[in-house]
Each structure stands twice: as structure tokens, then as C-alpha cells.
Chains A and B, each alone.
Chain A
């Protein structure tokens, strides 16, 4: 539980104490959030593909491209371009071959296992000529690309959980107990890069990190964990391109 959640809970508890003293009205509201990026100059969006790594159970490039395209199709005004996923790792290797900078010519790991393994590939997003060419090919769209790391995670330690207990007369109650647990799960660390297809330059980029843990004896397919984690950060991704409405309730006072 985060500090903010704890604060919210205590505030909620306090509300029940104070409402008895004043008139209040709970009201639903929808807060419109303006997009972080002005995409009015674009009619089309190309989710080009991602440099991905981590577990081999999920193809982070393919799955992320598919998911973002389907989300953008229904939740943005931009027309989504359907095309094959770009082979960004090959592009990065080629540009290193013809590369100019020492950093760019540095060797890349055979497989991307950790976030630092992505570093040699990062320069592909700054390859203005390449993105401009892609932009021309697809009629100057907004290009979405980036990196996706989806890695297994394991953690052990004391956790608090609730246990059902019955007293001598059979009355049920729930008590918190602290136990040592080994847990396994996944971490999802995408970086979304938004490129102007007209100029090939990066307009905006944003990093995210989400993780999920299960009991060690629980078997959850990697792909369903991937979708669960993507589901958490999709509203933030979408709010970069299109206005969103966040539903909530507030208390009006008299």
C-alpha cells in the first residue's frame, strides 16, 4: 500500500466522522484530460514496432504492436496504418555497420536480457533519416515506436495476508497474519517514443514500469501477465495522443 493510498483511506475514514456535522452530496464527475502531445497535424499513426527483450515466452515487439494498434483504432481519432512490424533490431545493427560514432559501433548483446542490454539499440530512435524515409513511405504519419522489456521477477520476504479463523462457538473472523513467502511474477518496462513522420525527429517519449507478483506455486502464463500489466499503463499511453475522461466521485459541500 502506498503512502497516498494510506492517506486516502484515512481521509475516507475521517469523512464519515465529519459528514455528520455538515451537509454533503456525493457527485460523479468526469475529468477530461487533454492529450500530452498535439497530434492535430497528423491524420495517421504508424505503430512501427519495438526493440524488445526479456523473457522468450512473450514476443514483446509483436504483442505490443498488435495491442497498441487495436487500442488506437478504437480510442483515438487517428487512422491506424496496418503494415508489417519494422525489423528495428536489424535497422539498429545496419546503422551501426555504417555507423559513425564509437558508441554506435559498440557490440550489442546476442540476446536482450536486461534493460542495459537495450542501450546499444537506443540510437535507432535518433536516426532522423531512417524515420523520415519511413514517414515518406507511409504519408507522413505520427510514428510510435520504442523499447519493451518484459522480464521474470522473483521476490521473497515477509508479507501480510488475511486468514479466516473460527472461534470455539464457530464464529468466523478474518485476522491479518504475517508470513514468509516466495513470490514470482513479471516486470514490464516499456518506453514509448513518438516520432514526427514528416521530419523524423522525436516529439516525445515516456518510460513506464509495472510489476506483478504471484504465489510461487501459482502458475500464470507469461502472456496473461503481460496483458494484465499493459492494461494498467494503457490509459497513460492513450492520454498522450487523445483526450481521455477520468471518471470519479467528489463530495460537494453546503
Chain B
């Protein structure tokens, strides 16, 4: 019985691993294309690609980092903040993501600075 359970578990894991790898591979293609179009200034297309990448693989921090940058460029600071938070949550030690987020916060702080009436 135990052996059978072990075999079933291993079979399930073996089936799931390529699926996860496929998801990352598909997401990576979207990320790569997004980078290409962003470099040509086509930010809306880049947003679409990186949103797709984040949908395909929600654990892909690079996709969320890039998406945050694109939202920043489009002026959607709230969406950028959420994407940066997800990216830093997934990879808290990634220095590039941290640096991007710090630079974003400097700008975001300016716009949310409380006023006096």
C-alpha cells in the first residue's frame, strides 16, 4: 500500500514538474518579447506581454518587476506599487528589484506628500 502511494505521489510530481517548467518557459518568452518592445518604446505592448507572463507564472518575479516599471512609465503608480511589492515579496534579496522599488518610492512619496489646508 505504502509503495503504491509513493508511486502515485512520484508520478504526480513528475507530471507537475514539466508543467511548471513549461509555465516558466512560456512566461519567459513573454518577458523577453516585452523587453524587446519596451526598448523600442512600445510600452503598452510591453505591459500586455508582462501581464500575460505574470498570469502564466505568478511566481515569476522578473515579470512583475518589469510590469511595475511599465506601469511607472505609464503613470499608473498604484498598480506599479502593487507589482513591486509582489516582486520584492517573491525575491526579497534581488538587488535590482530592490533598487527599482526604492527609486519608485522616491517619486511616489512626492506625489503622495500630505498637504496642509
B45-101 CB contacts (< 8 Å) to partner A: 61-62, 65-66, 69, 72-75, 77, 94-100
Instruction: Verify B102–A7 contact, CB threshold 8 A.
Output: yes
Q: Is A106 part of the binding interface, using a Cβ–Cβ cutoff of 8 Å?
A: no
Instruction: Verify A250–B100 contact, CB threshold 8 A.
Output: yes
Please tell me which one of the listed residues B32, B39, B75, B100 contacts residue A251 in the complex, with CB atoms under 8 A apart: B100
Number of B interface residues at 8 Å Cβ cutoff, please give it: 33
Kindly specify which of A11-19, A62-70, A174-182 makes contact with the partner chain: A11-19
Kindly specify which of A27-35, A78-86, A152-160, A165-173 makes contact with the partner chain: A27-35
Q: Is B111 part of the binding interface, using a Cβ–Cβ cutoff of 8 Å?
A: yes
| Residues of the A chain whose Cβ atoms lie less than 8 Å from the Cβ of B61 | 253
A32-56 CB contacts (< 8 Å) to partner B: 32-34, 36
Instruction: Verify B115–A204 contact, CB threshold 8 A.
Output: yes
Instruction: Verify B99–A19 contact, CB threshold 8 A.
Output: no
A122 to B65, CA, bound (A): 46
Instruction: Verify B99–A202 contact, CB threshold 8 A.
Output: no
| Residues of the B chain whose Cβ atoms lie less than 8 Å from the Cβ of A254 | 28, 31-32, 35, 62
A86 to B103, CA, bound (A): 41
| Residues of the A chain whose Cβ atoms lie less than 8 Å from the Cβ of B116 | 205-207
Interface residues of A (CB under 8 A from B): 4, 7-8, 11-12, 14-15, 17-19, 22, 24-25, 27, 29-34, 36, 202, 204-207, 236, 239, 246, 248, 250-254
Interface residues of B (CB under 8 A from A): 28, 31-32, 35, 38-39, 61-62, 65-66, 69, 72-75, 77, 94-100, 102-103, 106-107, 110-111, 113, 115-117
Top 8 A-B pairs ranked by shortest CB distance?
A: A14-B95, A253-B62, A32-B75, A11-B99, A251-B96, A29-B73, A250-B69, A15-B95
